[in-house]
Amino acid sequence: MAKYTRLEVAAVMKDNGMVPLFFHSDIELCKDVLKACYDGGSRLMEFTSRGDFAHEVFGELNKYALKELPGMILGVGSVTDAASASLYMALGANFIVTPVLREDIAMVCNRRKVLWSPGCGSLTEICRAEELGCEIVKLFPGDLYGPKFVKGIKGPQPWTSIMPTGGVSPDEANLKGWFDAGVTCVGMGSQLISKEILKNKDFEGLKTKVKDALALIKTLR
Residue 139 near residue 162 (C-beta atoms within 8 A) = yes
- CB-CB neighbours of 185 under 10 Å: 26
Query: Quick check: helix, strand or coil at residue 16?
Result: helix
Confidence of residue 22 (pLDDT cuts 50, 70, 90): very high
Residue 9 near residue 73 (C-beta atoms within 8 A) = yes
Residue 77 near residue 47 (C-beta atoms within 8 A) = yes
Residue 164: per-residue pLDDT: 98
Residue 208: per-residue pLDDT: 98
Output the average pLDDT for the chain: 97
pLDDT tens for each residue of 188-205: 999 999 999 999 999 999
Residue 210: per-residue pLDDT: 98
- Residue range 116-143: mean pLDDT, rounded: 96
Residue 105 near residue 89 (C-beta atoms within 8 A) = no
Distance, CA of 55 to CA of 201 (rounded, Å): 23
Query: Quick check: helix, strand or coil at residue 175?
Result: helix
Task: Report, in this order, helix, strand and coil percent for the chain, each rounded to 5.
Answer: 50, 15, 35
Name the pairing type of β-strands 186-188 and 44-48.
Answer: unpaired
Distance, CA of 202 to CA of 49 (rounded, Å): 23
Residue 130: per-residue pLDDT: 98
Distance, CA of 50 to CA of 221 (rounded, Å): 32
What is the helix (H) or strand (E) element at residue 208, kind and residue range?
Answer: helix 203-220
The beta strand positions in 84-203, using DSSP E, are 95-98, 115-120, 137-139, 162-164, 186-188
Distance, CA of 221 to CA of 214 (rounded, Å): 11
Residue 194: per-residue pLDDT: 96
Cβ partners under 8 Å of residue 168, min gap 6: 142, 174, 175, 178, 186, 187, 188, 191
Confidence of residue 7 (pLDDT cuts 50, 70, 90): very high
- Residue range 93-98: mean pLDDT, rounded: 98
Distance, CA of 21 to CA of 41 (rounded, Å): 15
Q: What percent of the chain has pLDDT over 90?
A: 99
Residue 202: per-residue pLDDT: 98
